Structure 1
Amino acid sequence: MEEQNQSATEITPEKAAERLKETDKEFIKLFGHGSLEVEYYKPDKADKQQPHERDEIYVVISGSGFFVNGDQRHPFEAGQVLLVPAGVVHRFEDFTEDFATWVFFYGPKGGEKG
């Protein structure tokens, strides 16, 4: 399938990065379905995000660094999956210039229980 014929439910990291460059933001919403929202996130030097109202999963596309999730801080690298419950303070620190990640928000405001 040629790229210009891609459906709205699939995208490559390269295409997401191109779409992000067309904005003045560090993230771009790509698509959603039901409670699911898929974004591409590439912060510039510092991660300034605040806790979110919904649960989220990061799938690291490229780069490495440290991930703060609540009171824990761990190294991360490309290919890792990171879960953050709704309302928890989190951020990426000391990350490489090539860092980029998929972000998946899901569930109700306040997060899923159980």
Structure 2
Amino acid sequence: MKSTLREAQALLTAQNRFAEVLRHGSMSVEWYAPIGHDPQQPHEQDELYVVVSGSGSFLNGEVTQPFGPGDVLFVPAGVEHRFLDFTPDFGTWVIFYGPQGGEKGQE
């Protein structure tokens, strides 16, 4: 299975700023490129973000940190998180994986 960045970006619409491009077992891979603000709510699985373009700040629980291209960000299941003050060219791969509720105790 393979998906390219160009294919993922082509799936986005003005109303839908994420697109699932791969799924296998508990893992799914999405392309995410919000416009203006990030309306995310906590998710039921652990997730990784691999930032491809853009920069800004990332709220992960009670911690806010800067991000930019090439950064990898981890968010445990159920934790409040969102991208803040990001540039218009922001886009990231999102990888959800593992059981609902996350892999607690397996760090």
TM-score (norm 2): 0.94
Runs of 4 or more, structure 1, over 3 Å off, are: none
Aligned-pair CA distance for 1:14: 1.8
Q: Quick one: which amino acid aligns to residue 80 of structure 1?
A: D
- The residue aligned with 1:100 is 91
Aligned Cα root-mean-square deviation (Å): 1.1
Q: Which runs of 5+ in 1 are unaligned?
A: 1-8
Query: Whose radius of gyration is greater, 1 or 2?
Result: 1
Instruction: Give me the whole-angstrom Cα distance separating, in 2, the residues matched to 1:19 and 1:103.
Output: 15
- The residue aligned with 2:72 is 81
**1:30 partner SS:** strand
- The residue aligned with 2:9 is 17
Q: Quick one: which amino acid aligns to residue 92 of structure 1?
A: F
**1:39 partner SS:** strand
- The residue aligned with 2:50 is 59
Retained in 1: the 8 A contact 2:3–2:22?
no
Instruction: Give me the whole-angstrom Cα distance separating, in 2, the residues matched to 1:59 and 1:32.
Output: 17
Aligned-pair CA distance for 1:44: 0.7
Q: Quick one: which amino acid aligns to residue 39 of structure 2?
A: K
Aligned length: 105
- The residue aligned with 2:38 is 47
Aligned-pair CA distance for 1:20: 1.5
Instruction: Give me the whole-angstrom Cα distance separating, in 2, the residues matched to 1:19 and 1:54.
Output: 23
Q: Quick one: which amino acid aligns to residue 97 of structure 1?
A: P
User: Identity of paired residues, percent?
Assistant: 56
Q: Which structure's residues are more often helix, by fraction?
A: 1
**2:12 partner SS:** helix
TM-score (norm 1): 0.88
Aligned-pair CA distance for 1:10: 1.3
